[in-house]
């Protein structure tokens, strides 16, 4: 697709790159030709997300406690750490 500033992007390639990280059970990328940015949604794998959150928070997070996992999705420390990981993956596999 073509973004507002004229840049062409392959949404499927971006989805493929991000779905390869262990924490991502599913990745979805959406674009609008009238906007200069994309929107991405990552659906985390509960087991991998619990392990990731445990590393970030330095405490045990139970993968079976779905309510706790849901709340952790809103935790800025988790979000910031996930963005760092996603940026690292993007730097290795995507251009621009």
Q: What is the pLDDT of residues 32-44, one digit of tens each?
A: 999 999 999 999 9
When pLDDT is averaged across residues 80-94 and rounded to a whole number, the result is: 93
Whether residues 80 and 52 share a domain: the answer is yes
Say what the pTM is.
Answer: 0.83
Whether residues 1 and 39 share a domain: the answer is yes
3 falls in which pLDDT band (50, 70, 90)? very high
Query: Where are the alpha helices (H) located in the chain, listed in sequence order?
Result: 11-19, 46-57, 66-72, 76-93
What's the chain's length in residues? Answer: 96
87 falls in which pLDDT band (50, 70, 90)? very high
Position 73 scores a pLDDT of 92
95 falls in which pLDDT band (50, 70, 90)? confident
27 lies in some domain = yes
5 lies in some domain = yes
Whether residues 40 and 2 share a domain: the answer is yes
């Amino acid at each position: 697709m073509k973004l507002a500033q004229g840049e062409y992007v392959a949404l499927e390639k971006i989805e493929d790159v991000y779905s390869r990280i262990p924490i991502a059970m599913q990745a979805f990328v959406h674009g609008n030709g009238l906007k200069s940015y994309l929107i991405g949604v990552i659906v985390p794998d509960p087991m991998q997300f619990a392990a990731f959150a445990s590393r970030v928070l330095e405490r045990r997070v139970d993968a079976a406690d779905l309510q706790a996992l849901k709340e952790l999705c809103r935790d800025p420390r988790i979000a910031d750490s996930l963005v760092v990981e996603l940026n690292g993956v993007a730097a290795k596999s995507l251009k621009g």
